[in-house]
Structure 1
Amino acid sequence: MQSILWDGKPITRPGLYRNIPLADYHRHDLCDSISVSSSMFRNIIRKSPAHAFANSSLNPHRDRETQTESMALGRFVHKAVAGEPFDDDCMLCPPLVKGEPFNMRKKVWQDWKADQEAAGKYVITPSLATRAKGMIIALGQFPLVQQGMLGGSPERSLVWKDPRGFWKKARPDEMPNDSGDFVDLKTTASVLYRDTQYSIAEYGYMQQAAMVMEGARALGMVANSFTLLWVESEKPHCVRAQTLKDEDLARGHHLNELAGKTFWQCYQSGEWPGPGDDRPDAEYVDMPDWWRKSVDDRVKYELREAA
């Protein structure tokens, strides 16, 4: 599908867009009416509408997101792997700032870093640059990457209209040329099977993947599969590729439908309830079974000892 060069104006028609800066992509007013990405839907499901609204661009009083090393590292690696210029939203630390060599404990460097972050830049320290280099080398040595897994068009934005009236958007890391096999790169602490399982569930990656697949099909594109390409952020920078199963993508889609319904109700009413706001009285809370069993077993043991 031919991509459309974004002209900086509100989007008025569905399509596959290129050159939308990440900060603009996340704006709720990217289109001529309200637009949402999977971040909103995932936060509604994982937490509550109140949490989703608090962290979104819909909230004029939201706190500025605190930049972490993992965020900066992930963004830099994504840009490097995509082969795109990184200086639009990443900034490598220069050798000197006002004559002072790199030292983030010094005020001059702290002020410089604060200025970069205020301008929307991810600051890449020398240690982060070294880690990023190791991750990029590891990715380049991974057989599936060598076979062209990351050979598609990077960071294209899918934008389409939901029947209820709002816009949806999705931004896979790699747009396949013709295979319909989408890939998303994830930096992680561990690629052990149990750890990737936890990350997929905890961060709602099924919903993110389902959103990409929905958008591709809504725009008439082939969408066959969605693969997560993991790379560890610490040595030995192991790499793992995992394709999501159709039945789980369907679950992600169902969760997105639930989140979309909830979002539209909240947006129209202006009310974004928290997890317990629908309960007029105090509720009973059940302790987890594992805790109850451990207490019961301990009491039984103490009673036997006393006898």
Structure 2
Amino acid sequence: MTTQTHYAGGIEPGIYPDIPDTKYHAAKDILSSSGARRLITSTPRKFYEEMTTERPYNPAFEIGHAAHTLMLTVGDPFEVVDADSWRTKDAKAARDAALQAGNTPLLAKEYAQVRAMADAILDHPVTGELFTRNDTTSEQSLYWKDEQTGVACRARPDLAVNDWSLIVDYKTTVSADPREFAKSIAKYGYHQQQAWYCEAVETLTGIRPEFVFVCQEKTPPYEVSLIQLDADAVRIGGRLNEDARSIYAACMDSGVWPSYPTSVQVVGLPAWALKQADQETGIEAPF
């Protein structure tokens, strides 16, 4: 049975190619993939605080944002500041002015970094072709309603083939090694993200797309890897998304966004620590 519709923002379900990213991200009352992941890994109260609070400036975020802008040819324009760091009064003033104008502030050395990253992507035998295809569209905004919960949802894939047969998600990361990226998948919920985006496309078009992560390191030589998730990861991600929407709907209905339990919680060591203790002390782990 479907609950009341939790739809807001005045945007009807559909695919919108020309919505600015500022407008897309401003619709915080329409649940996104990052919001769904936050509901799973944190508390509803923290999610609500973030939903109703402006994001503070984060240089690490701006580097990734700038790299996306160069690769996808969309987004905020750059404001390159000729300074060695943001510590000086003049640099801070230039940064704040850029942010106030809705631009992405970058130090000159940061701009050189993201330009080198873009060049490495374009020089790669697979990603170079992928990001220069003439049958793709970047950062389209997708809006749909989850029929089970009535929750309004949104997604904004980095790049998609125009027939929706493939979605490409570009990640900047410390390590593009597939073994290391597997840890990032679990830590940041990228399996939820893939399931969320694929659900969006399938709901609106009837097509279940393929999905690939293009991962790039943020230090020279800016190496690149291409990663696809296995079926189990995507299935688990989809189930977590269902849980997140159920939590969101319950909070919207009640107006209550719970925090941590108020009672005392009993916890033990994680499995890896128990195994380590077993190896080091001879205490047998209970499994």
Which TM-score band (shorter chain)?
0.7 to 0.9
Q: Give 1:150 deviation, angstroms.
A: 5.6
The Cα of 1:38 is off from its aligned counterpart by 0.9
In structure 1, what is the Cα distance between the partners aligned to 2:272 and 2:209? 40
Supply the distance in 1 between the matched residues of 2:270 and 2:151 (Cα, whole angstroms). 39
Instruction: Call closer, same or farther: CA 1:16–1:294 in 2, change over 3 Å.
Output: closer
**Which residue does the alignment assign to 2:58?**
68
- Choose between structure 1 and 2 for higher RCO, CA contacts under 8 A separated by at least 6 residues: 2
Amino acid at match of 2:210: S
Task: Give the structure 1 partner of residue 165 of structure 2.
Answer: 180
Query: Would the alpha carbon gap of residues 299 and 237 (structure 1) be closer, same or farther in structure 2, given more than 3 Å must change?
Result: closer
1:112 to 71, 94, 98: 94
Partner Cα separation in structure 2 for residue 146 and residue 102 of structure 1? 31
CA distance in 1, matches of 2:9, 2:265: 45
Secondary structure at the counterpart of residue 55 of structure 1: helix
Unaligned 5+ residue runs, structure 2?
A: 1-7
Q: 1:47 and 2:37 equivalent?
A: no
Kindly, what percent of the aligned residue pairs are identical? 27
**Aligned equivalents of 2:41, 2:71: Cα separation in 1:** 30
Q: How does 1:192-231 map to 2 (within 5 A)?
A: 192-231=177-216
Deviations 1:135-175 (A, max 9, x none): 11110011112333563100101111222333210001002
SS at match of 1:16: strand
- Contact 2:143–2:153 (Cα < 8 Å) also in 1: yes
State how far apart, in whole Å, the 2-side matches of 1:214 and 1:153 are.
18
**Residue 222 of structure 1 aligns to a residue in which SS?**
coil
- Higher Rg: 1
Match of 1:21 in 2: 20
Where in structure 2 are the equivalents of 1:1-307 lying within 5 Å? 10-28=9-27, 34-56=29-51, 59=52, 62=53, 64-84=54-74, 86-87=76-77, 90-93=78-81, 95=82, 104-148=86-130, 151=133, 152-163=136-147, 164-178=149-163, 180-277=165-262, 281-292=263-274, 294=276
1:18 partner amino acid: P
Superposition TM-score, scaled by structure 1 size: 0.81
Instruction: For residue 36 of structure 1, give the secondary structure of its aligned residue in structure 2.
Output: coil
Instruction: Provide the aligned length of Structure 1 versus Structure 2.
Output: 273
Checking the alignment, whether the CA contact within 8 Å between 1:182 and 1:223 is kept in structure 2 is no
TM-score of the aligned structures, taking structure 2 as reference length: 0.86
Q: CA deviation at 1:69?
A: 2.5
Contact 1:150 1:183 in 2 (8 A): no
Structure 1: stretches of 5+ with no match in the other structure: 1-8, 96-100, 302-307
Distance verdict in 2 for CA 1:179–1:291, change over 3 Å: closer
1:219 aligned counterpart, secondary structure: helix
Question: 1:10, CA displacement in angstroms?
Answer: 4.8
